[in-house]
Amino acid sequence: MFFLSPRDGFPKGDNETDTVFHNIHFNASTLNYWNYTYYPINGTLSNGSWCMLMNPPYTPKGILTNGTFINSTWCYLATDPIGDRARAGIGFAVGYALCLIFILVNLRKHGELHLPPEKRFYPIGRRWQWYWSIFVCATALVGLFTGIDVDRYHVVELPIVLNVFFWFLMQMGAIAVVWEGVRHWGSWMERQFIDPNPFVLHQNDKRGMFELWLPIFFYFWIWLNFFLVIPRNWGAIELQRSPEQTIDNAVPAATDGRFKAATFCLFVAWCTIIVSVWHSIRHYEPRNRGFFNRIIGFLGYMPFRFTLMIPLALAVVAYQGLCAWDFGLSPLNVKTNLLAMYLGGYAPTFLILVIQIIAGFMRPNEDRELMRQRRERGQALDQELGLVRKPAWWRRVNGDIPSGGMRDRIMRNVREVGGGRPTARQVEILAERRAAEMEAEAAAQNSGIEMNEIRRTNSTRTAAAPPPYSPYGGKSDQRRSERTVELAAGLLFPGANSNTPTGRGRGLEVAGEQPRRPGTSERSSSTASGVSTSGQPQQIKSMLDV
């Protein structure tokens, strides 16, 4: 344990073996025996293993001969009231909590899929900027709430380490938020560019390979910053319990070479963001000629939110570098300059999230935007071709769309066709039903007919209605396929008789067809019809009705 320098001995009491702490008497011999030392600046009594608060109202009521204090209070507890650092931290914590709610709303809005996912543009690519925003809010909340105990702890201890630990993580996440926003903007520009023609840009060219390796390069420097800052011995940061101790231990640890190198890594990551913006504008926006025109075009083509977010990200990097050289302005200092700490350490990150949220509410879902662009291109092509498409409600009003959706129609056709012996039964029932409907239509017609109306009985059937076929119960696959073809032909051409007998190979009598005498003038069965020639022409059915 390291504490403030002690004063010579204990406060004088009634005699040489007595000492008084705030009107409470203690045995000085017992204190010396257990090697206790009094530190009047912070009012603690410690022997290197045990530390007790001696200021009221935490002054112990006495000490036993075995070194045990009566009603004592441990030094490393949150006993002091909150200070300015804690109050400002609570205010920022409320702001980050509100940002977290709106970030979740934007994640739902922009993460939804309204088009089939494409292998070239993964859905998670548009969500990473919101995932990193959630990470920033979480680390900021943990760091700010632990910062409350930095003020409340009477002796500097673990809260200062937790506060700065999550602050460094928040800084990395803020840079990653800006990077993912810029990277995804370039991906969105590419998606709009190739949507009319998917083959206009290749994935294996220099542009595609550059876009493949650039994120890897960025995250390499981010992770390098992480390993330079986070895995270290943080115990030296706690040693700020006296001015001498702060100078000898805390300042060298907070301004060592690793913190300075980590700032350089973060700056390289920021430069990578600028390169990504330049690359996207170069390949997906019109090119300008001349140096000044290119600078103007660079600023004009870049979204306005990036015009604000990129300088704020540079401010994040600059303040982290300032902390690596000046301990007086660093959040690692317990008695730091609070204005510099919150304006340089927390305000830029908070503003980045606010800008990201506002831009998320203003921008539409990308799938919906892509659908709108496709409709506009379709309308432009229709105008060039002179086509005028009626609105979707036009067909519904005029009854052009049958009842039920496409799914219902497909399921109805599947139930009718099906497979196996149940299929034969369904086709047979369908044939019987359609034959009855056609007989009713023939009977309702008053025009002349070629032949007398023939009633459908078990023995005699009209030519207009195909005879019912009994399901094939044999084992020949070829015969079963022939029977299926006959059934389909009977449904597609209800007015024609099949010339192929059902009992092929067993004689015409088996098929129920009377043999014809060659050379006679007997009428062919192809003209047998129960419908007058003045009726409507025969309509060929579609296979979807089978």
| pLDDT tens readout for residues 460-508 | 444 444 455 566 666 677 777 777 777 777 776 665 554 444 444 444 3
Out of 66-70, 228-232, 396-400, give the one with best mean pLDDT: 228-232
Question: Does residue 177 sit in the same domain as residue 104?
Answer: yes
Question: Does residue 230 sit in the same domain as residue 207?
Answer: yes
Q: Would you tell me how many other CB atoms lie within 10 Å of the CB of residue 17?
A: 13
> What residue numbers bound the domain in which 481 lies?
415-445+461-503+541-546
Predicted confidence (pLDDT) per residue in 237-281, tens digit: 988 888 888 898 999 999 999 999 999 999 999 999 999 999 888
Contacts of 508 (CB under 8 A, 6+ apart): 501, 514, 515
Mean pLDDT over 297-309 rounds to 84
User: What's the total number of domains in the chain?
Assistant: 3
Q: What is the pLDDT of residue 423?
A: 56
Question: Does residue 312 sit in the same domain as residue 232?
Answer: yes
Residue 253 placed within a domain: yes
Question: Does residue 203 sit in the same domain as residue 258?
Answer: yes
Question: Does residue 292 sit in the same domain as residue 425?
Answer: no
What single string gives the DSSP state of each residue in 422-450?
Answer: HHHHHHHHHHHHHHHHHHHHHHH--S--S
Question: Does residue 343 sit in the same domain as residue 423?
Answer: no
Residue 391 placed within a domain: no
Residue 528 placed within a domain: no
Mean pLDDT over 195-213 rounds to 85
Question: Does residue 100 sit in the same domain as residue 34?
Answer: no
Residue 530 placed within a domain: no
Q: Which residues of 210-240 are buried (b: 16+ CB within 10 A; e: fewer)?
A: ebeebbeebeebbebbbebbeeeebebbbbb
Q: Taken in order 191, 196, 198, 201, is the CA torsion positive or negative? A: negative
Residue 26 placed within a domain: yes
Contacts of 188 (CB under 8 A, 6+ apart): 126, 366
Residue 340 placed within a domain: yes
Inter-axis angle of helices 304-325 and 257-284, nearest 10: 170
Question: Does residue 306 sit in the same domain as residue 432?
Answer: no
Of 337, 367, 397, the position where a domain reaches its end is 367
Q: How confident is the model at residue 456 (pLDDT cuts 50, 70, 90)?
A: very low
Q: What is the pLDDT of residue 402?
A: 58
Mean pLDDT over 375-387 rounds to 86
pTM beyond 0.85: no
By mean pLDDT, which of 60-74, 406-420, 448-462 is the weakest?
Answer: 448-462
Question: Does residue 491 sit in the same domain as residue 436?
Answer: yes
Mean pLDDT over 163-176 rounds to 95
Question: Does residue 153 sit in the same domain as residue 258?
Answer: yes
Residue 534 placed within a domain: no
